[in-house]
Structure 1
Amino acid sequence: MTLPPLFISHGAPDLLLNGSAANQALKQIGLPDLAAAVVVISAHWESETAEITASERPATIHDFRGFGPALERAIYPAAGAPELAGEIHALLQMAGIAARLNRSRGLDHGAWIPLALMRPEADIPVIQISLPRSDAAAIALGRALAPLSGRGVQLVGSGSLTHALADAFGPVETAPSAPFAAAFHDWVRPLIARGDLAALSQWRDAPHAARNHPTPEHFRPLLTAIAAGQGQPGHLLHHSWSRGVLAMDVWRFGEITPGPA
């Protein structure tokens, strides 16, 4: 089975419980039963050298506060995949990407919260890989990971298509899109649909780019996912707004194809 890469806008941690349009969409999108593993690159773990979780049972990291006891108690008890982590380590080294295994780190909320909606059974192993600190390195990581899709591994870039966090604290969840956020979204959307990495690498030239992404870590998982898709066009699986400034887009790069019967 070939599983094309996904980009998921994960929003705030309360996505898990808020019943929003994005919450419902992720439940519907789900993960295929035959997925061998999930490999997530999240905005919430950055490093110069690529790190790969390699524990048998990665912990659930609650890297947030103020969202209530239900979220702070929630866990996502998926297994890790140490053997696959070792294979990914070798794959990255072959691509000239410095990498190391991390046997102690768990899954941050950019990884486990969308997965808890997509696969609440937590019966598919999960690996997380740290996000590089440059656009070019994020693209190189995606290209190096591309062969995993053909092995039934679901690659996920987890970030946010827009991330004007300072503007997100006042509006209600269902607020209409702010003009500055909509302008950035309208600029980037056709480029994602074409899988146009060259144009997307110039994302800082988009309307209101600095306000939508005052720091780049929530945009870079998109670059990784597109690169892993090897030029396949993007298919928009979901679009909605959270708090009027967080575009909750979910994109897939390529088509799911079954393996041999």
Structure 2
Amino acid sequence: MPAPLFISHGAPDVLIKNTPAHQAMKALRHHAEPLAYVIISAHWQSGNLRITASDYPATIHDFHGFGAQLDAYRYPVPGAPRLASDIQAQLKRHGLMAELEMKRGLDHGAWIPMALIRPEADIPVIQISLPRQDDQASLTLGDALADLRHQNIQIIGSGALTHSLSDSLPMPETAAPASFAVAFRSSLAPAIEAADTERIMQWRTLPHAHRNHPTPEHLRPLLVAHAASGREPGKLLHTSWSRAALAMDIWAFE
């Protein structure tokens, strides 16, 4: 039964830079051998839930400025239309309505981690949109997905434990961690380890919360993964820093 994961996916060039986070994502191929991956990424939000359901989802290059190698990269993974329909039905049983999305592919929050975890692209990947409404909607989605673990489906929330782009983008990859980002991460990590849902949901009260997350979408995949585990404690698989302000944490909820 694969433990749900939360992956801080970092900047797109994590795929081609041999950083500690790059190596940690590659090591996740040994975390499980699932029948399929179901990913909830910070880069696809919607009011109504949507599920990719094409045979071969496209590789979406929803970024710029990271070079020709990444612009040309394709991750030719299969989808799983039948599983997508099953997930749609499962969500409906939990009172959540979702639409099947035949045209949209995988955004970089989905395919870049997967290209490191499973470069062979031989295990189907489905992406589910992140609820735009509020933090509680992300928890509710995770609760509704929890049964997938028992079907050998790997659930991944892909976002960022800290995500101040204005502070990180001007910095070199190996810049020392910024104190405001360290303070936020150090305050949130114990709540994740303790499976303290209430404290996790109060993340906006933590030091420098708004600077680390000016908008909430990169933290909400953490809520999905936590809830999808049945609110289990988080086990830290990896932590490192990128560009001073990006905590590259990877957590397993088991």
Shorter-chain TM-score bucket reads over 0.9
CA RMSD of aligned residues (A): 0.9
Asked if 1 retains the 8 angstrom alpha-carbon contact of 2:2 and 2:32, the reply is no
1:88-146: CA deviations, max 9, x gaps? 00011111112110011100000000110011001000000000111000000000000
Q: Which residue of 1 aligns with 2:162?
A: 162
The residue type paired with residue 64 of structure 1 is F
The residue type paired with residue 99 of structure 2 is R
**Superposition pairs for residues 15-54 of structure 1, below 5 Å?**
15-30=14-29, 34-54=33-53
Q: Which residue of 1 aligns with 2:89?
A: 90
Mean alpha-carbon deviation: is it higher for 191-200 or for 75-84? 191-200
Q: Which residue of 2 aligns with 1:183?
A: 183
1:38-68: CA deviations, max 9, x gaps? 0000000000110000000000000001101
**Superposition pairs for residues 7-22 of structure 1, below 5 Å?**
7-22=6-21
Q: Which residue of 1 aligns with 2:136?
A: 136
Q: Which residue of 1 aligns with 2:101?
A: 102
The residue type paired with residue 167 of structure 2 is D
Q: Which residue of 1 aligns with 2:201?
A: 201
Give the whole-Å Cα distance in 2 for the aligned partners of 1:18 and 1:180.
25
Size of the aligned set, in residue pairs, is: 253
Give the whole-Å Cα distance in 2 for the aligned partners of 1:193 and 1:32.
19
Q: Which residue of 2 aligns with 1:115?
A: 114
Structure 1 residue 29: Cα displacement: 2.0
The sequence identity of aligned pairs, in percent, is 56
Asked if 2 retains the 8 angstrom alpha-carbon contact of 1:185 and 1:247, the reply is yes
SS in structure 2 opposite 1:224? helix
1:163-185: CA deviations, max 9, x gaps? 01110122210111100000000
Asked if 2 retains the 8 angstrom alpha-carbon contact of 1:7 and 1:156, the reply is yes
TM-score (norm 2): 0.98
Give the whole-Å Cα distance in 2 for the aligned partners of 1:47 and 1:162.
22
Q: Which residue of 2 aligns with 1:174?
A: 174
Structure 1 residue 33: Cα displacement: 6.4
Unaligned runs of 5+ in 2: none
Unaligned runs of 5+ in 1: 255-261
